[in-house]
Every structure is written in structure tokens, then in C-alpha cells.
Amino acid sequence: MPRSVHLLALGIFAMVTSELLVGGLMPQMSEDLGVTIPQIGYLITAFALAMALGGPPATLAVLRLRTDRALLVLFLVFLVGNALAAVSHSYWLMLVARVVTGAASGAFFGVALSAVAQVTAPHLRGRATGAALQGLMVGTLLGLPLSTLIGGRLGWRAAFVAVGVLTVVVMVATALALPRLERAGKAGDLRGELTVFRTSHLWAVMATSTLIIGATFAAFSYFTPILTEVTGFSRDVVPLLLLGYGAATVVGNTVVGRLAMSHTVTVIVAGLALNTVFLVVFALFADLPVPALLAMAGVGLVGITLNPAMVTRVQRAGNARALVNTAHSSFITLGVVVGSWAGGMGIDAFGLRAPLWVGAALALIALLAMVPAALSARRVGHEAADARVPDRSEPRPVPGGSLSRGAGRGPGQ
């Protein structure tokens, strides 16, 4: 595995940590900026919406650059936004900072996955994607508690400073480690880059990703009140339980990353089926500690951990370039927004178990949406049911970027 893949994972970790750290520092930020807790909560929403809506335009802005240079530009934009957040004494300036960092993060995800595709041999691409996306899992696992610890001891601005320092270190290391790469976009005009989006199949595949992520976040967004109010755990214990959940996501992501290329459809279908079962069990037995914790760990293993397989499926339906990856990231972020919103609506109508039922329903819908792909995979007898004949602009392994053995051979090719 090229070391640059792990550096990109660290970059994703920094950006995920920046996204989440507001959640652990709400009281301090509310008092210092002179606004209410809900207004601070809107900063999280602003970041997510900026990722979903601002990521593609930010990617378009760097398409003419080589991928390695595009990554450095996005690192710099993110760093500026993060520094602006650290020195903000106005809520509105903080809101601007969150929009800037959110848009840069959305574009970075897409360009980073394009870089992974360029430095990795085709037979290792799914595993490499999983390795890069470990930054997302570890960010969820450690980013929030670490930033909350730093902010609690040194002030909330120190948490942003810490993220900024990590960003500088990773940016410099990435600049030194990455070889010269191809352009972030297709060598040609914008119209050529957008041509792939004319296929309805690509949109359907990305919409399925929205449902997959929405199913998990409908439940995950409300784990804390469910565990305290329904299951009966104390608030002091819940952070440790969430760490366990995060550890499960790291394990699940590793397994899915290894299977993403060779068993893409099977992994997604099996993951959705298991996630549906785990969410239903959690909903039925949320008042019993042992079944509730086992079900929560199961959701961690097969929920957002399907990302590497989802990315592989989208790249087969479209391509592995930055714009497709960023658009897919926007659909994933939309799943976070839709899932948490639907779960909250469920609580208002039916109580605290409702987000678990909402998540199960979304997972079941996604599973039904996967039926045609599963039947196609079974009919043709291999897992590349969503694959198409790659065009000549597909990224090829960069000399020195990955092992040459097996290059050019992918599943079903």
C-alpha cells in the first residue's frame, strides 16, 4: 500500500475532526460567541451542507490542476477556513469559516479518492479506498473526544489550532510523498467531464448510497438519548459505549475494504440485510442493555463501513475521477442530513425508539434498490455487475506509486 494513501487518510481525519469538534464544545462556544446552543448546532449543519453543495463547485475549480496540486490547494483553503474559525469573535464570521472548511472538505474527499485510484494498482484499489476512508472512521472514533478534551482544558479555540497544526504537518508530508499525478479532471473541456452524469444508472447508484448512509445516521444521531433514556445507561458511561461503536466501524471498514473490489454487490447486499436486522433488534430490545449493545456494535460493523464498496460501485458506474467522487460524497453527506432529520421527526411523532425503526426502513428500501444489481451479478456470474468498459481517461497506477504486479487486471476484466 503506498504510504501516500495513509497520508490522505490523515488528511480526511483532520477534516472529519474539524467537522465534529463543534459538537463537543457547544457550551464554551455558545458563551464566548454570545449565541444559543441551537445556533452553535447550526454550525454543524452549515459544514455538512457546504460539503454537499459546495464540494462539487470547489472540485470544478481545481479540475485543470494536477491531482497532487489540487490536493495542496484544498489543504490550503481548509487551513485558511480553520484558522478563521480559531480567531473568530463573531458568530457570523464563524459561520463563514464553517462554510469554507466544509466546501474544501467535500472537494478534498473526491480529489483524494481520485489520487488513491491513480497511485494504486487496480486489484488493490478497493483495499486502498478502505485504507483512505479509515480517516473517516478514526475521525468519528477519536476526533470528537480528543478535540473535546483539548477544548475543555485549553479553550475551544485550541481545538481548532490543533486541527490546523495537524493539517500543516499532513499537507507537507503529502506534498513530499505524492508523485506527479494526472489532472484531477478529464483532459478536455468541462462538458466532457460532465458527460458521465448523463447516465441515469450513475444517479441511481449514488442515490442508493444516500439511503445506505441515511439508514445508519437516522439511528446513530440519537444513540446518546436512546442509551440514557431507554436503555438506562448513565451519561458518564455513554462516551465509552460510543468509543466501542467507533472501534466496530474501524474493524468493519477494514473487512469491507478488502472485499470491495471482488465482491462489491454481495458486500453491500449482505451489509444492508444485516444492518436492517441489527436496527430492528435494537428497536425491539432497546430497554435491555446486552441486546442493545450487541445490536449497536452490529450497526457499527455494517453501517457506514460499506463506504469502500459504495465508492467502488460508483466508480464502476461512472469513473474514478475527482468530480464523480465528489458528487458521490455529496450524496453521502445528504444521507447524513436526511437520516438525522428523519430520525428527529420520528422522535417527535413516536418517541425515542423511532429513529431505529426509521433507520431499519431506510436500510430495507436500500436493500430493495439493490435487488436488480444482485440479480445481474448472479446472472453474469461475477461481482462486476455494475462495471462498464473503462475509457482511456481512467486513472492508471503511477510509476512508483504502487506495485506493478497485477496492474491492469480488475474483477471481471
Split at pLDDT 50, 70, 90, the class of 387 is very low
**Closest residue by Cα to residue 322 from 116, 184, 174, 183:** 184
Top-confidence residue, 159 or 400:
159
Cell of 14: 483532520
Split at pLDDT 50, 70, 90, the class of 189 is low
pLDDT of residue 392 exceeding 80, the answer is no
Split at pLDDT 50, 70, 90, the class of 237 is confident
pLDDT of residue 88 exceeding 60, the answer is yes
What's the pLDDT at 77? 94
pLDDT, average across residues 116-137: 82
What's the pLDDT at 121? 80
**Closest residue by Cα to residue 297 from 277, 320, 323:** 277
pLDDT, average across residues 283-311: 94
Top-confidence residue, 27 or 278:
278
Cell of 283: 428497536
Split at pLDDT 50, 70, 90, the class of 188 is low
Top-confidence residue, 341 or 273:
273
The per-residue pLDDT for range 56-71, each reduced to its tens digit, is 899 888 888 888 889 9
CA 365 – CA 228 distance, rounded (Å): 29
Mean pLDDT of the residues in the chain: 84
What's the pLDDT at 398? 54
Three-state secondary structure readout of 106-124: HHHHHHHHHHHHHHCCHHH
Please count the other Cβ atoms lying within 10 Å of the Cβ belonging to residue 135: 25
pLDDT of residue 40 exceeding 90, the answer is no
What's the pLDDT at 231? 93
What's the pLDDT at 396? 52
What's the pLDDT at 402? 43
What's the pLDDT at 269? 95
What's the pLDDT at 39? 79
Residues sharing a CB contact under 8 Å with residue 77, sequence separation 6 or more, in sequence order: 58, 100, 103, 104
Cell of 105: 472538505
Q: How many alpha carbons fall within 13 Å on the CB side of residue 321?
A: 28
CA 295 – CA 357 distance, rounded (Å): 13
CA 314 – CA 387 distance, rounded (Å): 9
List phi, psi (to 5°) of 183.
-60, 150
The per-residue pLDDT for range 261-276, each reduced to its tens digit, is 888 999 999 999 999 9
Q: Are 321 and 191 in contact (CB under 8 A)?
A: no
CA 76, chain centre distance (Å):
21
CA 142, chain centre distance (Å):
15
Q: Are 340 and 287 in contact (CB under 8 A)?
A: no
pLDDT, average across residues 149-172: 89
List phi, psi (to 5°) of 237.
-85, -30
The per-residue pLDDT for range 147-158, each reduced to its tens digit, is 777 887 888 899
Q: Are 271 and 256 in contact (CB under 8 A)?
A: yes
pLDDT, average across residues 333-342: 87
Split at pLDDT 50, 70, 90, the class of 209 is very high
Max mean pLDDT among 5-14, 42-51, 214-223, 280-289 falls in 280-289
pLDDT, average across residues 397-411: 42
pLDDT of residue 294 exceeding 50, the answer is yes
pLDDT, average across residues 329-348: 88
**Closest residue by Cα to residue 6 from 128, 125, 172, 105:** 128
* pTM, to two decimals: 0.81
Q: Are 307 and 333 in contact (CB under 8 A)?
A: no
**Domains of the chain, each with CATH number or no CATH:** 1-185 (1.20.1250.20), 191-381 (1.20.1250.20)
Three-state secondary structure readout of the chain: CCHHHHHHHHHHHHHHHHHHHHHHCHHHHHHHHCCCHHHHHHHHHHHHHHHHHHHHHHHHHCCCCEHHHHHHHHHHHHHHHHHHHHHCCCHHHHHHHHHHHHHHHHHHHHHHHHHHHHHCCHHHHHHHHHHHHHHHHHHHHHHHHHHHHHHHHHCHHHHHHHHHHHHHHHHHHHHHHCCCCCECCCCCCHHHHHHHHHCHHHHHHHHHHHHHHHHHHHHHCCHHHHHHHHHCCCCCCHHHHHHHHHHHHHHHHHHHHHHCCCCHHHHHHHHHHHHHHHHHHHHHCCCCHHHHHHHHHHHHHHCHHHHHHHHHHHHHHCCCCHHHHHHHHHHHHHHHHHHHHHHHHHHHHHCCCHHHHHHHHHHHHHHHHCHHHHHHHHHHCCCCCCCCCCCCCCCCCCCCCCCCCCCCCCCCC
The per-residue pLDDT for range 346-375, each reduced to its tens digit, is 888 888 899 999 999 999 999 999 999 888
Beta bridge partners of 66: 183
pLDDT of residue 243 exceeding 70, the answer is yes
Please count the other Cβ atoms lying within 10 Å of the Cβ belonging to residue 273: 15
